[in-house]
Amino acid sequence: MKSRLGLLLLLLPALGLIAGFLTALTSVLVMSVVDSSGALSLESYRSFLGDERYMTILLRSVWIAFYVTVICLVLGYPIAIAMSRSSRTVASLITLALAIQFFSIYVVKMYGWMLILGNNGVVNRMLVGSGLVSSPVKLMYNELGVAIGLTAAALPLMVFPINAVLQTISLRYEEAALSLGAGRLRALLTITLPLSVPGILSGVILTFVFCFAAYLTPGLLGGGFFKMIGNVIYEQAVARFNYSLAAASAAITLVISLFAVVAVNKASQAFAGGRR
């Protein structure tokens, strides 16, 4: 009896978190199908899906989330490899650097990137000073600035899951391949890479969902000139008090995110089945 009571007490925080999440989710879904008079209506969905501007922003958000995820994978996999094969001290330093970058105050972090990418920022001063360009390059208030900011913010979400899986893969597999005449690159691509797919897929899901729903990065580095779906939701809820349209936009965003998760899960199952 005491053990059950203790288990229940341990579960209470998690149950409270789940209850809060479900309550918030239900509220959003209900709000998306209720008009200003309180009657059931799908007008908010029709308004969103029928507005060319909103659809352009939605597709843009999917596209940016997709290619930023690819960039994070290309950059993050070598970092994860380095972490898994370095000494404990070096791996700890890399982990610490990524953790500080990820958990630091987001607004401060984005303002830091504004100082780096601005017309008088570090990058443009180096470019102009080296003579590579005659005038500052526009690195902010456009898609490029948003993509750079999202890549920097989301990179740890790709690295940590991959590193966690790589830590479980014995180096003896690669050593066996090397002893049979395979080169290091071939051993990496044919042995380590396939075995690390679960970590890659986890990183892909986390990174895509994070980038797709982002609003602070495009808000600051896009400067209002380059919006993503998160900015639309924020604008409708906070600036225009159109909670029904904001809820409908959030619901559509959630559906697309869930679709991406399901698609990646199906790809994982198909890959696992093909490996048997």
* Digitized pLDDT (tens) for each residue of the chain, 276 residues in all: 556 776 777 788 888 888 888 888 888 888 888 877 777 888 889 999 999 999 999 999 999 999 999 999 999 999 999 998 888 898 889 989 998 888 888 888 888 888 899 888 899 999 888 888 888 889 889 999 999 999 999 999 999 999 999 988 877 777 787 777 777 778 778 888 888 888 999 999 999 999 999 989 999 998 888 899 999 999 998 888 888 999 999 999 999 999 998 988 887 777 665 555
Kindly provide the b/e burial profile for residues 71-85, where b requires at least 16 CB atoms within 10 angstroms of the residue's own CB.
bbbeebbebbbebbe
Q: What is the largest CA-CA distance in the chain?
A: 77
pLDDT of residue 103: 83
Contact, 66 vs 208, CB < 8 A? yes
The torsion angles phi and psi of 109, rounded to 5 degrees, stand at: -65, -45
Per-position DSSP letters for 196-235, written without gaps between them: THHHHHHHHHHHHHHHHT--HHHHHHSTTTS--HHHHHHI
Per-position DSSP letters for 106-158, written without gaps between them: HHHHHHHHHHHHSTTSHHHHHHHHHTS-SS----SSSHHHHHHHHHHHHHHHH
- Measured CA to CA, the distance from residue 75 to residue 95 in angstroms comes to 15
| List of domains in the chain | 43-275 (1.10.3720.10)
Give me the half-sphere count of Cα atoms (radius 13 Å) on the Cβ side of residue 228.
28
Tell me the CA end-to-end span of the chain in Å, nearest whole number: 45
pTM of the model: 0.87
- Measured CA to CA, the distance from residue 48 to residue 65 in angstroms comes to 20
Q: What are the CA-CA distances from residue 55 to residues 8, 176, 212, 219 (Å)?
A: 46, 52, 14, 18
Instruction: Write the CB contacts of 260 (distance below 8 Å, at least 6 apart in sequence).
Output: 205, 208, 209, 212
DSSP-H helix ranges across 33-87: 43-49, 52-85
